[in-house]
Structure 1
Amino acid sequence: MRIATSSSTDLNAASAVKAIKEEIRKKISSPSLMLVYYTETQDVQSIKNEFKKQFPDTYIIGCSSCRGTMTDKGYVGGHNIAAWAVQDESGAYGSALCNLSSENDVFLQAKQVLQRAIDSSGRPGELPALITLHTTPGHEETILRAITSELGVNVPIIGGTAADDGVSGNWSLFDSDNVTSNGIAMAVFFPSARVSYSFHSGYAPLGDSAVATRIDGRTLLELNGQPAAEVYANWFQSATGRVIDNDDLFAQSTLFPLGRQTGIIHGMPYYTLSHPASVSEDGGIQMFCNLGEGETVHFMSGTTEMLVSRAGRVVDSANDHDKNPRDPIGGIAIYCAGCMLHVRDSLNDVAANMSLSMHQAPFICPFTFGEQGQFLGGEIAHGNLMISAVLFHKDEL
């Protein structure tokens, strides 16, 4: 199993993809699977066509990333494409994409995408060692339930919700044949190398909590029977001494999200985070993920320094999680776009920390509007302000 990465800032799609091919071919002659991440400034149809032309026998899925990408070669901001490729003659890989139709059930469509991806791998009836999931915003929890329902057990997932530069709907997904702004893309891995994983928030509860007593879709309307935005504002002022600006809620809440306890490991609780996005007209808080009525939400806190160092720590955790840690041959990471925007002046440090923890092995990392992963306790979740990582190890199965 061999892994290679490449990226390009070339404004011309054809020359950008050709340059990526030339660099990847220095290490890999015929990729089994490619993951491609790109900014909204790209002509997605053009880059899709070019990747299909340059890699006609490779399974490919692409997902838009917020304002840049990151690889083992560092952080690249602005207009760019980054690609991750694996060649594994002893393994098997497959992928599938669908454009979500309002006429069909999302749960059913997600199961169909997963089954098509598995069928394309030539391993029908087998459980993949890993699933890479990319979807456009809105149905992440339903899609995760569909995956678990189809497989019957939780399989490690690394995923990220397609992003754009300004939450304006300019996100997209593609495979070798299609482009969509409302869809699901999955890749399945049956690798010859062992996979380890980690999914972390890194934030801590400050003590305030309340029950979600009224929900409307992804809008948290009431906490303990009171307007959610009012309760949150009181928590924020008590913690910071500042009055929150509702017009700047997305930015100001990055270090103070809401969390739901997902499990306990070694006596310590861990949380799935939800990022407040904006205040609704009726005093609710619009979120980037679903909450359930009756769930307890905690007021969480993080620091800028933590957001910079956390990427490396999550990779370290994935390596420690492996039963026999070895230098990885490569990896994939997902880093929240909200966190990225908060630490944008330190992204070279984030990349350096991650590369150090990867032992300089090739990796790729987009910036997404939601993160999906598997906690060490086994739970599969969709959250915000999270980081997910998987590593592939030299020791074979």
Structure 2
Amino acid sequence: MRIATSSSSNSNAITAVEEIAVEICATNSSPDLILAYYTETQDVDVIKSELRKHFPNSHVLGCSSCQGTMTDKGYVNGHNLAVWSIQDKEGAYGSAVVRLDPGLDVLTQAKTVLQKAIDDSGRPGELPALITLHTTPGHEETVLRAIRSELGVNVPIIGGTAADDEICGNWSLFDRERITADGIGMAVYFPSGRISYSFHSGYAAMGPHAIATKVEGRTLVELNGEPAAKVYSRWYHDATGLDIDPAQLFAQSTLFPLGRQTGEIHGMPYYSLSHPSKVSDDGGIQMFCSIFEGETVHFMSGTTEMLVSRAGRVVNSANEHDKNADVPVGGIAIYCAGCMLHVKPSLHDVAINMSRSMHDAPFICPFTFGEQGQFLGGEIAHGNLMISAVLFHKEEL
């Protein structure tokens, strides 16, 4: 099992893929699976066709990233294409993307793309060791529910919601056959070696909490019967001494999101985070993930320093997840775009921390509008302001 990465900021997409192919093929002459992450400024049609030309036997999954990408070579800001590849003659891999049909049930379509990816791997009826999940914004919880329903157990997931540069809908997904701005993509892994994983928020509950008493779609309308924005503004002012500017809610709330307890380990709770986006006309808060009526919502806090160091800590946690694991041969990480925008001047330090924790193994990391992963307690979840990491190790025990 060999993993290789490459990236290019060349303005010509054909040349960018050629440059990447040369570097990838120095390690992996015929990759079994390719993951491609790119900014909205890229010509996705050309990237798709050129990847297929250079890697005709490879399964492919592509997803757009916010304002740059990160690999073991470092952080790249702006126009970029980054590629991760794995070659594993004793393993099996598959990928699929579906364009959502508004006339059909999302749950059913999510099951379809999972089955297509498994069929594409040539291992029908078997349980994957890992799934990479990428969706366009809006249906992440439904897709996770479909995966649980179809497989019957929680399979480790590393995923991120497709992103663009300015939250304007310029995101996309692709595989070997299609490109879509409204869809679901998955890659399934049956590797010859082991994987280890981690999914963290790194934020702490501040104490204030309330019940979600009214929810409409992804808008949290009321907390404890009061307008949600009013309650959140009160909590924010008590914590910071500052007032929320509704026009700046997304940026101001990055260090103060809302959280729901997902589980606990050794008596310590852990949380899935939800990032407030906008104040709605009725005083609610539009979120980047779903909160359900009756759930307890906690006021959370973090620090800029934590967001910089967290990536390395999450990778270390993935290493520690498997006490018998050797040094990883490579990895995949997902880093929240909201966190990325907050710590942008320090992203080179984030890349260094992550690379050090990866033992300098090749890895790739897009910046996404939502993160999916499996907590160490076993739960798979979708959240915001999270980081997810998976490491690949050479041999089975």
SS at match of 1:395: coil
Aligned-partner Cα distance in 2 for 1:58–1:46? 17
SS at match of 1:34: strand
* Matching residue's letter, 2:190: F
* Deviation per residue, 1:249-274 (Å, 9 max, x gap): 00000000000000010110000000
Aligned-partner Cα distance in 2 for 1:177–1:129? 25
Name the TM-score, length of structure 2 as normaliser: 0.99
Aligned-partner Cα distance in 2 for 1:100–1:249? 30
Q: Does 1:204 align with 2:204?
A: yes
Q: Conserved in 1, the CA contact under 8 Å of 2:192 and 2:395?
A: no
Displacement of 1:394: 2.3
Aligned-partner Cα distance in 1 for 2:117–2:255? 37
Aligned residues: 397
* Matching residue's letter, 1:394: K
After superposing on structure 2, the runs of 4+ consecutive aligned residues of structure 1 that deviate more than 2 Å are 394-397
Aligned-partner Cα distance in 1 for 2:326–2:336? 27
SS at match of 1:199: strand
SS at match of 1:184: strand
Aligned-partner Cα distance in 2 for 1:311–1:48? 30
* Matching residue's letter, 2:303: T
* Matching residue's letter, 1:370: G
Alignment of 1:38-57 (within 5 A): 38-57=38-57
SS at match of 1:315: helix
Alignment of 1:345-364 (within 5 A): 345-364=345-364
Alignment of 1:11-26 (within 5 A): 11-26=11-26
Displacement of 1:326: 1.6
Displacement of 1:146: 0.1
* Matching residue's letter, 2:15: S
Displacement of 1:135: 0.3
Aligned-partner Cα distance in 2 for 1:90–1:381? 30
**Residue in structure 2 matched with residue 81 of structure 1 by the alignment:** 81
Aligned-partner Cα distance in 1 for 2:264–2:185? 31
**Residue in structure 2 matched with residue 185 of structure 1 by the alignment:** 185
Aligned-partner Cα distance in 1 for 2:189–2:342? 33
Alignment of 1:241-320 (within 5 A): 241-320=241-320
**Residue in structure 1 matched with residue 116 of structure 2 by the alignment:** 116
* Deviation per residue, 1:317-343 (Å, 9 max, x gap): 000001313210000000000000000
* Matching residue's letter, 1:350: V
Considering only aligned residues, what root-mean-square deviation do their CA atoms show, in Å? 0.6
Greater Cα shift, 139-148 or 387-396: 387-396
Displacement of 1:49: 1.1
Aligned-partner Cα distance in 2 for 1:220–1:240? 22
SS at match of 2:123: coil
* Matching residue's letter, 1:156: P
SS at match of 2:7: strand
Identity of matched residues, %: 74
Displacement of 1:54: 1.0
Displacement of 1:56: 1.1
* Deviation per residue, 1:29-72 (Å, 9 max, x gap): 11000000000000111111111111111000100000000000
**Residue in structure 2 matched with residue 161 of structure 1 by the alignment:** 161
SS at match of 2:26: coil
Q: Conserved in 1, the CA contact under 8 Å of 2:192 and 2:394?
A: no
Aligned-partner Cα distance in 2 for 1:97–1:171? 14
SS at match of 1:277: strand
SS at match of 1:328: coil
Runs of 5+ unmatched residues, structure 2: none
Aligned-partner Cα distance in 1 for 2:94–2:166? 32
Q: Does 1:128 align with 2:120?
A: no
Aligned-partner Cα distance in 1 for 2:266–2:361? 30
* Matching residue's letter, 2:32: S
* Matching residue's letter, 1:368: T
Name the TM-score, length of structure 1 as normaliser: 0.99
Q: Conserved in 1, the CA contact under 8 Å of 2:335 and 2:367?
A: yes
Q: Conserved in 1, the CA contact under 8 Å of 2:371 and 2:386?
A: yes
Aligned-partner Cα distance in 2 for 1:258–1:24? 41
Displacement of 1:240: 0.1
Runs of 5+ unmatched residues, structure 1: none
* Deviation per residue, 1:216-239 (Å, 9 max, x gap): 000000000000000000000000
* Deviation per residue, 1:93-122 (Å, 9 max, x gap): 001110000011000000010001101111
